[in-house]
């Protein structure tokens, strides 16, 4: 297990030979890892998942909803109304708070539940070699030392090296940004593995990639947050920045609060300057503060967001954070670039010339003959040549 922990800390697993990997993982490349060692690994290091943060308890999520500045202002107003024995106003404000917070919490809680159910639906199993026998296990139960069999259409469930392959082409654009499938070869076919970087490691596969064609037997070396995809996800793991709507609401709440404080003290000073009863002056100032509070604002915002989220749900869009709806609706132009949108990721044959630079049809004929006999996934050059004829 100690050797496995050292392997876990070592990032460049693709720079090690097959024997080195098997030795560090203490496994047989024929039989795979033993079940009891796999169970110990899962208990100590967790599932093969990219989840970093622990899920908050539902009560914590509910309490955090009361951190909204306008809600805090309403709570203060409700307390003041209760203090001056205006129970009707206090009850109304309190009801608005409960409805607003309740609607926001219910909508976002349902969205998170829906997202979790979708993740469970797409969860899949893989065929592995453990204890010398093939078996199907959930991808979340994979550990370093598992030997996984992959074929066309499957996702690479963790980082590893190729032990066997047949026309094994991988789309690893999620990790490396490469636009085209890459043929992965067995680790035995690679000379001097220590000289390769991640992008050059043609014997290594990475979590999140997809198998385009062929068959491959993979030795898993990294799982979960220790994979290259997990490392990338870790850099992106941070608190969500406040939305523009939240910032605007905070500014508005602060403005209302300052205005209320100013008018309360102003009215109190005026009443006292006319030698009116100080208790009545204080009660009047507090009543003024309650009257200036926009108690219907939170419920109006919640209803608007809930309606927008419902409309987006009919278009199969799950809104996990209601305040993001405002940012999306306030967007005039969205500028983005990804292969296949602004760019085509496609090569075209523009001309076919001989050694002298003149157009020569026979060059294209020979190129077509060569490309038409390629096996596995055709590379972009072959595809362009075949489409040209």
Contacts 24+ apart (CB under 8 A), 195-200: 196/14, 196/15, 198/12, 198/14, 198/228
State the Cα–Cα distance between residues 201 and 180, nearest whole angstrom.
Answer: 15
Backbone φ, ψ for residue 207 (5° rounding): -55, 140
The whole-angstrom separation of Cα 213 and Cα 211 is: 6
3-state secondary structure of 356: coil
User: Any residues with CB less than 8 A from the CB of 211 and at least 6 apart, and which?
Assistant: 150, 151, 152, 153, 154, 155, 156, 168, 169, 170, 171
Contact 78, 101 (CB under 8 A): no
3-state helix, strand, coil split of the chain in percent (to 5) is 50, 15, 35
**Catalytic residue positions, numbered:** 337
Residue 230 to residue 208: CA distance in whole angstroms: 10
What is d(CA 274, CA 195) in angstroms, rounded to the nearest whole number?
89
| Cα separations in angstroms, 177 against 15, 174, 198, 209, 231 | 21, 6, 12, 11, 15
* 133-138 and 125-130 strand pairing: antiparallel
For 200-213, the DSSP string reads T-TTEE-TT-EEEE
Measured CA to CA, the distance from residue 269 to residue 289 in angstroms comes to: 15
Nearest CA among 220, 215, 212 for reference residue 161: 220
Q: Of 154, 114, 120, whose CA–CA distance to 140 is shortest?
A: 120
């Amino acid at each position: 297990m100690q050797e496995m922990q050292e392997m876990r800390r070592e990032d460049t697993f693709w720079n090690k030979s097959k024997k080195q990997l098997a030795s560090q993982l203490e496994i047989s490349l024929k039989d795979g890892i033993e079940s009891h060692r796999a169970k110990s690994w899962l208990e100590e290091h967790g599932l093969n998942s990219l989840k970093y943060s622990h899920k908050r308890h539902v009560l914590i999520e509910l309490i955090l909803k009361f951190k909204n500045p306008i809600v805090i202002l309403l709570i203060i107003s409700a307390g003041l109304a209760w203090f001056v024995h205006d129970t009707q106003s206090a009850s109304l404000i309190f009801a608005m708070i409960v409805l607003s917070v309740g609607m926001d919490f219910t909508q976002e809680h349902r969205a998170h539940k829906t997202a979790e159910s979708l993740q469970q639906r797409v969860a899949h199993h893989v065929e592995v070699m453990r204890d010398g026998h093939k078996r199907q296990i959930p991808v979340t139960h994979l550990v370093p030392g598992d030997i996984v069999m992959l074929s066309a259409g499957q996702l690479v469930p963790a980082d590893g090296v190729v032990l066997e392959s047949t026309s094994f082409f991988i789309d690893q654009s999620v990790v490396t940004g490469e636009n085209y499938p890459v043929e992965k070869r067995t680790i035995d076919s690679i000379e001097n593995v220590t000289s390769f970087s991640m992008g050059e490691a043609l014997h290594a596969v990475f979590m999140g990639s997809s198998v385009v064609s062929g068959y491959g037997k993979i030795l898993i070396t990294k799982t979960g947050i220790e994979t290259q995809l997990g490392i990338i996800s870790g850099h992106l793991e941070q608190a969500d920045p406040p939305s523009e709507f939240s910032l605007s609401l905070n500014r508005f709440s602060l403005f209302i609060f300052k205005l209320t404080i100013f008018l309360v003290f102003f009215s109190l000073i005026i009443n006292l300057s006319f030698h009116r009863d100080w208790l009545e002056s204080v009660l009047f100032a507090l009543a003024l503060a309650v009257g200036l509070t926009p108690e219907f604002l939170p419920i109006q915002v919640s209803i608007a967001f809930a309606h927008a989220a419902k409309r987006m749900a009919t278009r199969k869009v799950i809104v996990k954070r209601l305040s993001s709806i405002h940012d999306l609706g306030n967007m005039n132009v969205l500028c983005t670039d990804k292969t296949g949108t602004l760019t085509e990721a496609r090569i075209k044959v523009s001309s076919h010339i001989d050694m002298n630079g003149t157009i020569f049809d026979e060059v294209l004929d020979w190129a077509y003959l060569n490309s038409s006999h390629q096996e596995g996934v055709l590379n972009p050059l072959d595809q362009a040549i075949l489409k040209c004829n």
